[in-house]
Amino acid sequence: MAISERIQTMMSGSSFIRKMFETGSELKNQYGSENVFDFSLGNPSMRPPDVFNESLLKAASDHLHHAYMPNAGYPEVRTSVARFLSKEQHVPLTEKNIIMTTGAGGALNIILKTILNPGDTVIASTPCFMEYKFYCDNHGGTLVLAEGTEDFNLNVSAIEAAITPQTAAVIINSPNNPSGRVYPEETIKELSAMLSRKSRDTGRTIYLISDEPYRKIVYDGITVPSILDHYNNSVICTSYSKDLSIPGERIGWLAVHPEADDFENLISGTILCNRILGYVNAPALMQRTIAELQGVSVDIGQYKKKRDLLVDELQKMGYRFRVPEGTFYLFVKAPGGDDLKIVDELLQERILVVPGRGFSYPGFFRIAYCVKDSVIEGSLPGFKRALKRIEK
């Protein structure tokens, strides 16, 4: 074997989500894509809003700006993000607080590399996006999981119990992938108070990393609470992937609270890491494209319609779940309790979903409903038959 042993091991246990994506491609080749109901990947079917296309064409018509810029990104783009974010988070920010990144994945990696010493831990609450495990491991850290409550909220006591002197950060993701849960303001307050207390106790700053690419995809008048407003040692990582339906473009940012401990080093560290991890800078053209699109998003009403359709129909059939407040995911209890079994039954109906164990939460499965209405409608008989076979 000529490659790294760790990578070899990782490959054998790789992502359930991507596996499903690839199984899906095979099924589509075999049966035609109109006969496969692919709910496996959070890959939005909706087109970007018209203003995005206009802004992109404008940026693309300007032939001057494809060069390197400071590793943190164009100052004027960061100013534009800071201005919007100051209002959203109720904390005054400037371009000094913002680093443009290669999507939220880039943002998470640069902050983790900046803060992790070898052997450090980062805590996340299940169910959660398991790429965090790789992101921590990339930089010598270990992801430690704390189980969420039964209704998918954070369990602050469980997180507290997982904290040790090696804990560098807690990552939260609200609205949550895969559950669609938005953590209530009360919980964020409780978490912040606990983290402040534990930081004092352990004598080490515990950063709160808020991964929030779904912030704008919420329903029924819900608002996602500000993180910066509640905890000084907080860092937001996000992207325009879901807001604007452009996940392939890899554009996002990281924001550091102006009063975070060791602020200057934290910011300089993330800028250095943006460079040395090989990102160098967020893609130039996309930075210029999103500059004036702060607060813009695709029509969330369309996602709400999809959610409501799916919720109504699956409920009628007898599937059990908590109605999600945000994201375009539905996290459903596996009938019979075995997530691999229901995933397999659904696969026989050419319906692709992801087993809960892909989110460290067996006994559930995730439906990514960022698909055309026809995919949802076409899948319903299959969902019904699969459930019947399991209940038999």
Site for a second copy in 203-222 (CB under 8 A): 204-205, 207
Cis preceding linkage at 92, omega within 30: no
Pick the closer one to a second copy by CB: 58 or 90. Answer: 58
Figure out which of the listed residues 65, 90, 197, 316 binds a second copy, where binding follows CB under 8 A.
65
**Helices and strands per DSSP (H, E), number in the chain:** 13, 12
Q: Is 279 in the site for a second copy (CB under 8 A)?
A: yes
Instruction: Show the site string, 117-156: x = touches a second copy by CB under 8 A, - = not.
Output: x-------------x--xx--x------------------
Cα-based distances in Å from 191 to 111, 166, 187, 224, 313: 20, 18, 6, 15, 36
CA distance 162 to 170: 10
Q: Which of residues 75-104 bind a second copy (CB under 8 A)?
A: 102-103
Q: Where are the alpha helices (DSSP H) in the chain?
A: 5-12, 16-31, 50-61, 75-89, 103-115, 131-138, 156-162, 185-202, 263-276, 284-290, 300-317, 339-348, 373-391
Coil vs helix vs strand at 377: helix
> Interface with a second copy by CB under 8 A: which range of 51-59, 218-226, 329-337, 343-351?
51-59
Taking the C-alpha atoms of residue 205 and residue 208, their distance in angstroms, rounded to an integer, is 10
Contacts to a second copy from residues 228-267, by CB under 8 A: 233, 244-250, 261-262, 265-266
Query: Measured from the CB of residue 323, what is the shortest distance to a second copy in angstroms?
Result: 26
Q: Does 273 bind a second copy (CB under 8 A)?
A: yes
Query: CB-wise, 30 or 223, nearer to a second copy?
Result: 30
In whole angstroms, the minimum distance from the beta carbon of 236 to a second copy comes to: 16
Is 115 a binder of a second copy (CB under 8 A)?
Answer: yes
Instruction: For residues 194 and 302, give the distance between their C-alpha atoms in angstroms, rounded to a whole number.
Output: 38
**Binding a second copy by CB under 8 A: which of 275, 322, 385, 389?**
275
Q: With CB under 8 A as the contact rule, which of the stretches 145-153, 177-185, 282-290, 378-386 interacts with a second copy?
A: 282-290
Closest approach of a second copy to the CB of residue 54, in Å: 10
Identify residues 27-46 at the interface with a second copy (CB under 8 A).
41, 43-44
- Kindly state the smallest distance separating residue 189's Cβ from a second copy, in Å: 22
Q: How far is the CB of 161 from a second copy (least distance, A)?
A: 23
The residue type found at 193 is A
Question: Which candidate, 310, 244, 263, 275, places its Cα nearest to that of 100?
Answer: 275
Position among 81, 227, 254, 286 found at the interface with a second copy (CB under 8 A): 286
Residue 392 touching a second copy (CB under 8 A): no
Contact 328, 370 (CB under 8 A): yes
Kindly tell me which of 168 and 367 has the beta carbon lying closer to a second copy. 168
Q: By CB under 8 A, tell whether 283 contacts a second copy.
A: yes
Nearer to a second copy, 128 or 246 (CB): 246
Neighbour-count burial of 132, counting CB atoms closer than 10 A to its CB (0-12 exposed, 13-18 middle, 19+ buried): buried
The answer to whether the beta carbons of residues 289 and 59 sit under 8 Å apart is: yes
